[in-house]
Amino acid sequence: MKRFTTTVTSLLIAATATLAGPGMWVPLFIDSNIEDMTAEGLTLTAEQIYDANSSSLKDAIMIFGGGCTGEVVSDGGLILTNYHCGVAAVSSLSSPETDYMAHGFTARTEADELPCDGLEVRHLVRMEDVSDRVKSLDDTASINALTLAAEENGKYEVMVEEMFHGNQHIMMVYEVFKDIRLVVAPPQDLGRFGGETDNWVWPRHTADFTLFRIYAGADNKPAEYSPANKPYRPAKHLKTNINGVHEGDFAMVMGFPGSTDQYLTAAAIDALRTKVWPSVVSLRQAEMSVLEKHMAANRKTAIDYASHYSSIANGKKRTAGEIDCTARAKTVETMRSQQAAFRKDARMDTILAQMDNIFSPEYTGNELTMRLARDTWSGSRTLRLAFTMSRLVQKATDKSAIDSIATYFFAHSDIKTEREILAASIGELQRIGAQGLPSIVVKTSPKKLAKRATSGIFSDINKLRKALASPNAKELVESETATVLANALIDTWRAKAAANDSANALLHDLKAAYAYRLSEIRPDSLLAPDANFTMRIAYGRVEAPRTGIENVDRYYTTAKGIIAKNATGNPDFALADSLKTMLGGDYGRWADADGELHTCFVGSIHTTGGNSGSPTLNGRGELIGLNFDRIWNGIASDYRFDNERSRNISVDIRYVLFVIDKVCHGGHIVSQFDIVNTPTR
């Protein structure tokens, strides 16, 4: 298959390029944007943003956990991220007795900071353009040679990532910190204020933050957890600016956006939004309804399933928003007319026509079945446990490792909830009637199947232990209904992915060709590569959306809005009385010049999932907010950023500090921030 990997460095380093639209730019090449950024209000140099040889902004911005961003805000390794990024750690440290979810948590001293088992933070040591040494991601020999050398005997984690779908290859070298401790979590009334009602919605008032600390060995390098470890001393930490934000201010977000898909045709997006996304939404809704019922009825279930629920609900609402937004913003129509102009170029027309052809009913059908199988499996902890156990017993894994997985599952799962989730999702799969689902799913009554899957050895720790201790452990695990069902769903997922394999390989190359040809026919514009969970910088302004909806078209919110939402009686806006009092009163140094406590603001900055927890920075690279979401009205920005409607949402850093200071009584922690109060303009 043809790979478009020729001389395309110009895609990223367009020497004469001036026209940068919205995009997620690669810091290694930020030089190309500096003129534009400076004209907009940046006062930093390219080297102050990214420099592999001396400290730069990139050293303060890290991958937090498996899919978020965090930023170092003190010389003692404090790292700030979103509440929704830290909540899994908070929930696993919490019990009905301590209930850090309800009350929040504040470490009084470093000795009180709570180690978070399994949580990791990745610091990008450097990026390197290796395009001339790697021709494609299939070029494993070259990649292995490169990564082996760069790993320096296990000191670093190394990844080669493609940009522009294979036009370019960049090597990322990370150091991985494994001793991360919880320092502050706000009470969830604030950290999740607005819940699913407000998720992906503006105006917004969520204190979406948690604060951790990175610990390192005596040499300041990553080390496994040890009480002897010391707070990490970063090469760079962010200054925090509490002077306030104004509409029109230059702002930028630096972080690790997960994935975008901007090099698709209008027809492709139309096929996905009509044929695939609606059923994905309805399956997720079925799972959520069960979780909501059980979480409302039982506090332990609410704590145990908080993070599971949030991740299902978050994805579901985003997809629902994308369906709605693409309709309202006429995304498909706009792209069609934009692409019609490109198609005047014969070569581009061939590329785009080939891409249109890929999205046949067969292709979208496979895509749908694959996603439904995957989401049913991932929505059920029981199926995931069964699948994991079956893999582990086959590999004869260490017994104590198996036992600790099982122990965790039974300590944090509720079998009745598990049974009902499964019944609801199987019922929904049958209603949707997608092609090629496994016969066990199609032919069995949902309730019966769910009961069988949650009655055997995966319903009780003692039964499971007994089965695992038996000489027939493999057979016992394999013959369980939960295992059969889990394997059937995984097989379907794999088979459907395989059925679309060659179409997806072609699609990958067509996206590369589309980007490449675009750079040829529009040589004066700078193209941004799709996000792929590598470090990026996006910039724009603090700016209200222009939707024509009065309540939406504003750029900031205040604590008054929290009180007003609370008065509606919607449980997603519930507030303990003590919080209500604090939010209604003395804001101290965290108040804006207008006397109000500003809570969140929006900007015209291109972000996506993975940017959760990213710093929102002013033109001097100082922290003014914490990015956490996008707005419903422009949410389809993964496919096309709409200048009028697409906006990212940040918590105002003054609200974060107010909560740490006044609500969490963390004055001793606030004093560790490097606070400045100089006007941005």
Active-site residues: which are they? 84, 208, 612
CB 379 within 8 A of CB 284: yes
Six-digit token pair at 292? 């909501």
Task: Pick one of 628, 632, 655, 673: the residue that binds ligand ASP (CB under 6 A).
Answer: 628
608 touches ligand ASP by CB under 6 A: yes
CB 93 within 8 A of CB 171: no
- The amino acid at residue 432 is I
* Stretch binding ligand ASP (CB under 6 A), from 95-103, 328-336, 417-425, 604-612: 604-612
DSSP collapsed to 3 states, 162-175: EEHHHCEEEEEEEE
> Shortest gap between Cβ of 250 and ligand ASP (angstroms)?
20
* Residue closer to ligand ASP, measured from CB, 480 or 652: 652
CB 484 within 8 A of CB 391: no
629 touches ligand ASP by CB under 6 A: yes
609 touches ligand ASP by CB under 6 A: yes
> Which residues from 317-376 bind ligand ASP, rule CB under 6 A?
none
SS3 122: strand
Q: Could you give the CA distance from residue 213 to residue 183 in angstroms, rounded to a whole number?
A: 7
CB 508 within 8 A of CB 4: no
Contact map string, positions 466 to 495, toward ligand ASP, x by CB under 6 A = ------------------------------
H or E element in which residue 210 lies: strand 210-216
Give which of 265, 274, 232, 250 is closest to 36, Cα–Cα.
250
CB-based contacts of 514: which residues, under 8 Å, 6+ apart? Answer: 263, 348, 351, 352, 355
* Residue closer to ligand ASP, measured from CB, 612 or 633: 612
Beta strands, E only, 511-647: 525-526, 536-541, 556-558, 598-603, 615-617, 623-630
> Shortest gap between Cβ of 82 and ligand ASP (angstroms)?
8
* Residue closer to ligand ASP, measured from CB, 260 or 390: 260
231 touches ligand ASP by CB under 6 A: no
> Shortest gap between Cβ of 617 and ligand ASP (angstroms)?
16
Residue closest to ligand ASP, measured at CB:
609
* Residue closer to ligand ASP, measured from CB, 317 or 452: 317
Task: Pick one of 611, 614, 633, 680: the residue that binds ligand ASP (CB under 6 A).
Answer: 611
607 touches ligand ASP by CB under 6 A: yes
Give the CA radius of gyration of the chain: 25
* Stretch binding ligand ASP (CB under 6 A), from 363-371, 498-506, 571-579, 609-617: 609-617
Task: Pick one of 74, 492, 612, 672: the residue that binds ligand ASP (CB under 6 A).
Answer: 612
> Shortest gap between Cβ of 80 and ligand ASP (angstroms)?
16
Task: Pick one of 81, 240, 314, 500: the residue that binds ligand ASP (CB under 6 A).
Answer: 314
SS3 186: coil
195 touches ligand ASP by CB under 6 A: no
Residues binding ligand ASP: number (CB under 6 A)? 9
* Residue closer to ligand ASP, measured from CB, 331 or 611: 611
630 touches ligand ASP by CB under 6 A: yes
* Stretch binding ligand ASP (CB under 6 A), from 464-472, 533-541, 602-610, 656-664: 602-610
* Stretch binding ligand ASP (CB under 6 A), from 94-102, 162-170, 562-570, 623-631: 623-631
* Residue closer to ligand ASP, measured from CB, 339 or 608: 608
CB 554 within 8 A of CB 276: no
* Stretch binding ligand ASP (CB under 6 A), from 161-169, 438-446, 529-537, 603-611: 603-611
- Residue 615: is the preceding peptide bond cis (ω within 30°)? no
> Shortest gap between Cβ of 629 and ligand ASP (angstroms)?
4
> Shortest gap between Cβ of 460 and ligand ASP (angstroms)?
35
- The amino acid at residue 491 is D
Q: Could you give the CA distance from residue 652 to residue 590 in angstroms, rounded to a whole number?
A: 10
Q: Could you give the CA distance from residue 319 to residue 285 in angstroms, rounded to a whole number?
A: 11
Length of the chain: 681
> Shortest gap between Cβ of 305 and ligand ASP (angstroms)?
17
* Residue closer to ligand ASP, measured from CB, 459 or 608: 608
Q: What is the DSSP letter of 209?
A: -
DSSP collapsed to 3 states, 526-553: ECCCCCCCCCEEEEEEECCCCCCCCCCC
* Stretch binding ligand ASP (CB under 6 A), from 151-159, 351-359, 378-386, 605-613: 605-613
> Shortest gap between Cβ of 556 and ligand ASP (angstroms)?
18
Burial status of residue 228 (CB atoms within 10 A of its CB: 0-12, 13-18, 19 or more): exposed
* Residue closer to ligand ASP, measured from CB, 70 or 609: 609
Q: How far is CA 628 from the centre of its chain?
A: 9
* Residue closer to ligand ASP, measured from CB, 50 or 628: 628
> Shortest gap between Cβ of 316 and ligand ASP (angstroms)?
12
* Stretch binding ligand ASP (CB under 6 A), from 516-524, 534-542, 601-609, 670-678: 601-609
Q: For 255-281, b where at least 16 C-beta lie within 10 A, e where not — what string?
A: bbbbebebbbbbbbbbbbbebbbebbb
Q: Could you give the CA distance from residue 257 to residue 623 in angstroms, rounded to a whole number?
A: 18
* Residue closer to ligand ASP, measured from CB, 14 or 288: 288
From residue 88, how far is each of 83, 160, 236, 541 by CA, in Å?
Answer: 9, 29, 27, 32
* Residue closer to ligand ASP, measured from CB, 582 or 605: 605
DSSP 363-410: HHHHHHHHHHHHHHHHH-HHHHHHHHHHHHHHTT--HHHHHHHHHHHH
CB 44 within 8 A of CB 38: no
> Shortest gap between Cβ of 417 and ligand ASP (angstroms)?
23
672 touches ligand ASP by CB under 6 A: no
Name the residues that contact ligand ASP, by CB under 6 A: 314, 607-609, 611-612, 628-630
